[in-house]
């Protein structure tokens, strides 16, 4: 058995009738495989069966602790591939708009907690002789980096697959009964208390750096006071400008509904901007998002005078922790120059704000989010987390941030699934109360593939935001080209 950390458990605790913590990848594939046969559900099941021993999170079944006296555990249980792997066909004409609508609905559906928390859907009926594979995972089991490890295990660099390590003889763990789990939980209480004591000093002194609660009243004062009494736990850096997120229509309580826009941007043009401005790919990505948000909101006459803020996930997983799955993540809060009319100025401002955010993030404890969660006893954890998120999304307070922006680098070489060539790989992320908009990017081959996830009740025009991203890149690239002079 493997106990969930408090950060893993956080993603379970956030779920309710309106919120799910599913993170998904939508892979677009050629319909025909290298052997000339079509990709079928049977072929998908066979590949998962052959690689299941390399994919622990796909075998993990949740074992809850009665009365919540400890966080749940993962049990290496039975996997019914007939249950987890499904298929359906899109109605004609099978365009990308219909695909996005169906995927948004599936991504918003909660998963059965009595089974391992994953699902896969083979989607037929796409135009241009394509199929799609949607893989849903739960954030309690994987973060962005470990989710990428699962995809790399399922995909190959050759259409003919690769040699796999032999599967060891596996004995599944039975899920303990309620009494056994209760006894385990009670026995775990001393460890919880030690963890809370160890977490108190770094967590309290940096409480205002925890992105999800930074806007709550009193958090800054607690951090300042704890820092004074705990010398060295709060690094002395130049004080950053106070970052306060303005209110927008998408910073409110969400509904159960989701919308999704899928788009691709040419990576060579992004790299061209990177080179021209002495920036990083992430700088350019954030600047494109800032420009697109500015245009989109201005067109609706909803652009705030203040800069928007983005919450940017950051992996804190060490090399030794690769392959351990679970969550090893922190966040940065980054000012988006949505108040800057000059496109070049937006890139410079993003470069500066990201550099400052990185310096602040490196100065804080790498496991700050987990330390903060460790302060809350498991018996109170679920209700406490939901209360905090409800308060943080209140219209009476400024949002913690306005939008989530995440950029996940991917391979520049072709990949294959069961012999079928991968044409594109789109992320489908999650939204929460107070932040009903998420922009996540995967790079693959010469494209940046983007999934914009939103609540359609709060963001009814997510397609226009996607279009604004395309237009912003075209604008920025056009400014690199020297103006043509007229011949005399």
Given 71, 84, 138, 139, the catalytic residue: 139
Query: What is the enclosing helix (H) or strand (E) of 130?
Result: strand 130-138
Token pair of 67 as six digits: 């009365």
Closest CA to 398 of 214, 235, 185: 214
**pLDDT at residue number 191:** 93
**pLDDT at residue number 294:** 97
| Per-residue model confidence as pLDDT tens for the chain (488 residues) | 899 999 999 999 999 999 999 999 999 999 999 999 999 999 999 999 999 999 999 999 999 999 999 999 999 989 999 999 999 999 988 999 999 999 999 999 999 999 999 999 999 999 999 999 999 999 999 998 999 999 999 999 999 999 998 888 877 888 899 999 999 999 999 999 999 999 888 888 888 888 778 778 788 788 778 777 665 555 555 445 678 999 999 999 999 999 999 999 999 999 999 999 999 999 999 999 999 999 999 999 999 999 999 999 999 998 889 889 999 998 999 999 999 999 999 999 999 999 999 998 888 888 888 999 999 999 999 888 888 888 877 778 888 899 999 999 899 999 999 999 999 999 999 999 999 999 999 999 999 999 999 999 999 999 999 999 999 999 999 999 765 444 44
Domain ranges of the chain: 2-154, 241-411+438-480
β partners of residue 416: 156, 421
Q: Which fold has domain 241-411+438-480?
A: Chloramphenicol Acetyltransferase (3.30.559)
Question: d(Cα 274, Cα 104) in Å, to the nearest integer?
Answer: 32
120 with 29: CB under 8 angstroms? no
Question: d(Cα 340, Cα 16) in Å, to the nearest integer?
Answer: 38
CATH superfamily of 2-154: Chloramphenicol acetyltransferase-like domain (3.30.559.10)
Which residues, including other chains, have CB under 8 Å from residue 299's CB and lie 6 or more apart? 464
Which residues, including other chains, have CB under 8 Å from residue 388's CB and lie 6 or more apart? 212, 213, 216
Is there a catalytic annotation at residue 139?
yes
What number of other Cβ atoms are within 10 A of residue 24's Cβ? 25
Task: Output helix, strand, coil percentages for the chain, rounded to the nearest 5.
Answer: 40, 20, 40
133 with 29: CB under 8 angstroms? yes
Dump strand ranges (E) for 390-430. 403-408, 416-417, 420-428
At 177, give phi and psi (nearest 5°). -75, 175
Judge whether 2-154 and 241-411+438-480 match in fold. Answer: yes
Closest CA to 313 of 329, 302, 294: 329
Q: How far is CA 202 from CA 195, 223, 271, 375, in A?
A: 12, 10, 38, 11
With a threshold of 0.85, does the pTM exceed it? yes
Closest CA to 11 of 120, 147, 121, 103: 147
Kindly tell me the burial class for residue 32, based on how many C-beta atoms sit within 10 Å of its own C-beta (0-12, 13-18, 19 or more): middle
């Amino acid at each position: 058995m493997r106990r969930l950390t408090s950060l893993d458990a956080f993603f379970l605790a956030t779920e309710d009738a309106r919120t799910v913590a599913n993170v998904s990848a939508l892979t677009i594939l050629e319909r025909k495989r290298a052997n000339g046969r079509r990709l079928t559900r049977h072929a998908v099941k066979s590949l998962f069966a052959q690689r299941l021993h390399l994919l622990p999170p796909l075998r993990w079944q949740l074992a809850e602790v009665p009365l919540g006296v400890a966080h749940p555990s993962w049990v290496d249980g039975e996997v019914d591939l007939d249950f987890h792997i499904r298929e359906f066909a899109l109605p004609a004409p099978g365009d990308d708009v219909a695909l996005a609508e169906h995927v948004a609905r599936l991504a918003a559906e909660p998963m059965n907690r009595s089974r391992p928390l994953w699902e896969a859907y083979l989607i037929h009926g796409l135009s241009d002789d394509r199929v799609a594979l949607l893989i849903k995972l739960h954030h309690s089991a994987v973060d962005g980096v470990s989710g990428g490890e699962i995809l790399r295990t399922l995909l190959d660099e050759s259409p003919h697959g690769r040699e796999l390590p032999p599967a060891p003889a596996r004995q599944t763990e039975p899920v303990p009964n309620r009494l056994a789990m209760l006894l385990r939980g009670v026995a775990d209480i001393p460890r919880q208390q030690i963890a809370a004591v160890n977490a108190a000093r770094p967590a309290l002194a940096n409480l205002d750096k925890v992105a999800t609660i930074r806007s709550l009243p009193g958090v800054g004062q607690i951090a300042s006071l704890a820092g004074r009494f705990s010398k060295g736990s709060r690094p002395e850096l130049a004080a950053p400008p106070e970052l306060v997120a303005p209110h927008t229509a998408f910073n409110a309580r969400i509904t159960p509904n989701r919308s999704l826009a899928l788009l691709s941007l040419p990576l060579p043009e992004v790299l061209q901007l990177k080179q021209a401005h002495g920036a990083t790919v992430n700088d350019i990505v954030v600047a494109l998002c800032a420009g697109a948000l500015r245009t989109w909101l201005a067109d609706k006459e909803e652009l705030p005078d203040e800069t928007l803020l983005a919450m940017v996930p950051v992996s804190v997983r060490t090399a030794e922790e690769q392959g351990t799955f679970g969550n090893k993540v922190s966040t940065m809060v980054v000012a988006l120059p949505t108040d800057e009319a000059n496109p070049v100025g937006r890139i410079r401002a993003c470069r500066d704000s990201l550099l400052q955010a990185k310096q602040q993030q490196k100065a804080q404890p790498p496991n700050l989010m987990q330390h903060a969660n460790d302060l809350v006893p498991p018996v109170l954890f679920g209700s406490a987390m939901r209360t905090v998120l409800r308060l943080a999304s209140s219209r009476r307070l400024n949002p913690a941030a306005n939008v989530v922006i995440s950029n996940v680098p991917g391979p520049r070489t072709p990949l294959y699934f069961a012999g079928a060539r991968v044409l594109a790989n789109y992320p489908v992320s999650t939204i929460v109360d107070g932040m009903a908009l998420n922009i996540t990017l995967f790079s693959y081959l010469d494209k940046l593939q983007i999934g914009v996830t939103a609540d359609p009740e709060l963001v009814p025009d997510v397609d226009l935001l996607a279009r604004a991203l395309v237009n912003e890149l075209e604008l920025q690239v056009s400014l690199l080209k020297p103006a043509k002079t007229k011949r005399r």
